[in-house]
């Protein structure tokens, strides 16, 4: 079966491709947002004009054509769908374009810093110009296809097609909080939280847009786990995918039941009672008879 990855996001934008540092010979001129012009309708790839070679000293962005300004604003924890063009500021070459391959869907905190920073606060319908130095994009390594060399600054023009709405958790479920990078970091509870739940709680915070996950599928996820309702964290968010096969007995029953039927791209909170977790058997940092709460993002299915 063909592997389906969230958004089919090209490796050229993945956080793992980025590395701090400037590297290489500095371009001739320091540029700013005003050094770049963007034209053309948002129904087609933008026309981007500037005079190479230039470099940028900091990441900057502006909305060059505004949408209606409705719906959720982009945050670091957002799931977005975009069209974008990436251009090397050193030689005007295009190193990536979804106008050739189709829109890309991804979590903002999964891409290079400059790209993510430039999208924060924008809305669906906006066309955004982002200028980024090497230290915020592909650093001292360049991108994986070598079309951006070490130390090259880059330009992105991004059309924000959609920002997935975030569903609030019910009042009886612990609140999910995020760190500065947009990663799930902790659950906190108040007096409204259900005490000693006995049934599985499945709460999609963001609905996925990809294929539906079924028992037997191999999936890749990122996750965070804590003792319910606001106890010790036993699995921090690492940003490293965890691969498993549903229905193969590799994970606890609460995961098997809670993830089946979700779609790729979903961020889901699971509240798992002991009977669907580890039961009477302690597991390292998890005491016996513990109720567990997880935040899980489904990245891919195959």
**Closest listed residue to residue 296, CA positions, set 235, 212, 231, 227:** 235
The distance in angstroms from the start CA to the end CA of the chain is 6
CA 170 to chain centroid: 24
Please, which pLDDT band fits residue 9 given cuts at 50, 70 and 90?
A: low
**Closest listed residue to residue 86, CA positions, set 28, 29, 34, 138:** 138
Backbone φ, ψ for residue 93 (5° rounding): -80, 145
Determine the pLDDT at residue 145.
Answer: 75
pLDDT digits (tens, 9 = 90+) for 233-246: 999 999 899 999 99
Does pLDDT of 119 surpass 80?
Answer: yes
Determine the pLDDT at residue 27.
Answer: 46
Please tell me the distance from the alpha carbon of residue 265 to that of residue 181, in angstroms, as a whole number.
18
Distance set, CA 165 to CA 32, 74, 264 (Å): 33, 10, 15
Does pLDDT of 23 surpass 60?
Answer: no
**Exposed / middle / buried, residue 199 (Cβ in 10 Å: 0-12, 13-18, 19+):** exposed
Mean of pLDDT over the chain: 92
pLDDT digits (tens, 9 = 90+) for 244-266: 999 999 999 999 999 999 999 99
3-class secondary structure, 147: coil
CA 84 to chain centroid: 16
Angle at 173 between CA 255 and CA 122, to 5 degrees: 90
Please tell me the distance from the alpha carbon of residue 184 to that of residue 242, in angstroms, as a whole number.
16
3-class secondary structure, 271: strand
Tokens 């066309």 -> residue:
127
Please tell me the distance from the alpha carbon of residue 266 to that of residue 41, in angstroms, as a whole number.
31
Backbone φ, ψ for residue 61 (5° rounding): -155, 155
Query: Is 54 in contact with 29 (CB distance < 8 Å)?
Result: yes
pLDDT digits (tens, 9 = 90+) for 70-117: 999 999 999 999 999 999 999 999 999 999 889 999 999 999 999 999
Determine the pLDDT at residue 4.
Answer: 57
Does pLDDT of 164 surpass 80?
Answer: yes
CA 243 to chain centroid: 17
**Closest listed residue to residue 252, CA positions, set 267, 266, 270:** 270
pLDDT digits (tens, 9 = 90+) for 32-71: 999 999 999 999 999 999 999 999 999 999 999 999 999 9
Listed in sequence order, the DSSP H helices in the chain are: 98-101, 113-119, 253-259
Does pLDDT of 122 surpass 70?
Answer: yes
């Amino acid at each position: 079966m063909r592997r389906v990855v969230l958004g089919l996001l090209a490796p050229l934008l993945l956080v793992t491709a980025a590395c701090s540092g400037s590297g290489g010979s500095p371009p001739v001129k320091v540029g700013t947002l005003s050094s770049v012009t963007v034209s053309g309708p948002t129904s087609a790839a933008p026309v981007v004009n500037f005079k190479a070679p230039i470099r940028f000293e900091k990441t900057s962005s502006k909305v060059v054509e505004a949408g209606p300004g409705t719906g959720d604003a982009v945050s670091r924890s957002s799931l977005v769908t975009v069209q974008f063009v990436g251009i090397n500021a050193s030689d005007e070459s295009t190193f990536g374009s979804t106008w050739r391959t189709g829109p890309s869907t991804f979590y903002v905190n999964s891409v290079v810093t400059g790209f993510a920073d430039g999208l924060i606060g924008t809305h669906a319908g906006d066309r955004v110009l982002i200028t980024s130095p090497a230290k915020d994009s592909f650093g001292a390594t360049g991108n994986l296809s070598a079309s951006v060399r070490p130390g090259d600054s880059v330009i992105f023009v991004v059309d924000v097609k959609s920002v997935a709405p975030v569903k609030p958790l019910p009042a009886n479920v612990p609140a999910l909080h995020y760190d500065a990078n947009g990663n799930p970091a902790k659950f906190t509870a108040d007096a409204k939280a259900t005490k000693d739940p006995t049934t599985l709680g499945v709460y999609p915070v963001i609905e996925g847009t990809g294929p539906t996950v079924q028992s037997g599928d191999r999936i890749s996820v990122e996750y965070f786990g804590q003792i319910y309702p606001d106890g010790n964290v036993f699995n921090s968010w690492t940003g490293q995918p965890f691969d498993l096969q549903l229905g193969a007995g590799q994970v606890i029953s609460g995961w098997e039941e809670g993830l089946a039927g979700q779609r790729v791209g979903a961020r889901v909170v699971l509240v798992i009672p002991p009977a669907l977790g580890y039961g009477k058997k302690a597991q390292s940092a998890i005491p016996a008879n513990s109720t567990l709460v997880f935040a899980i993002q489904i990245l891919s299915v195959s």
